[in-house]
Amino acid sequence: MFHCSAFFLLLILSDMFPFPKDEFAQENPELEMKAPQTLDGAVFERRNGKSTLLLRGDYFDLDSQSTGGQFDAVWDRASLVAISPDLREKYVSVMGGLVRPGGAVLLLAFDRREGTPEAREGGPPYSLNEEEVRRLFEGADWVESVTKVAEYDEMEEEAARARWLSKGLIAAYELLFVIKAK
């Protein structure tokens, strides 16, 4: 069961996906989730709960007004690898407006390291290696530091290995970074 009553949780859902049905509310009754609503003129569908806000809409429309302020921490669980690589710089810029000075981003990336050209360039998830993460974030005026904290070989797990080999990849890694804001 998910517990976050001591923290504020904001989950941004792509407008490509439906709002979570009642499962989230049923699994987390302590959050007292209300029915989804869209306020006049709002670009996001909202679902409020105790210390929780779910937004459904276009990430690139996010700002501190739509989220109710900036955040101490953001967990990007593979969002950056889900969007087209030509939107990455815009993504980083939007993120800079969401993270409070001194805050941090925990970023999960996917590196399609070796395989056929089609397999390495395909997506989503699109490949995002350490060099590209550093280029994107170290060049942003709001970033103090970028630290890679973990690397996981996707080929170590048999099911994942079979899936990636069938797509033409022979080396694939999940990378985890902590990006600290100035």
Question: 145-170 pLDDT, tens per residue?
Answer: 999 999 999 999 999 999 999 999 99
The answer on pLDDT for 91 being more than 50 is yes
Q: Please state the separation of Cα 57 from the chain's center in Å.
A: 14
Arithmetic mean of pLDDT, 21-47: 71
Strands (E), the chain: 9-14, 45-49, 52-57, 71-77, 99-115, 143-153, 169-181
Q: How confident is the model at residue 67 (pLDDT cuts 50, 70, 90)?
A: confident
Rounded Cα–Cα distance for residues 128 and 146 (Å): 14
Given this model, what pLDDT does residue 39 score? Answer: 62
Phi, psi dihedrals of residue 76, rounded to the nearest 5°: -95, 100
CATH of domain 70-182: 3.40.50.150
Q: Please state the separation of Cα 135 from the chain's center in Å.
A: 18
The answer on pLDDT for 16 being more than 60 is no
The answer on pLDDT for 57 being more than 90 is no
Reading the block at residue 111, the tokens are: 């590196």
Rounded Cα–Cα distance for residues 77 and 122 (Å): 19
Share of the chain above pLDDT 70, in %: 84
Given this model, what pLDDT does residue 31 score? Answer: 76
Q: Where in the chain is the domain with CATH 3.40.50.150?
A: 70-182
Given this model, what pLDDT does residue 49 score? Answer: 78
pLDDT, the chain, mean: 85
The answer on pLDDT for 18 being more than 80 is no
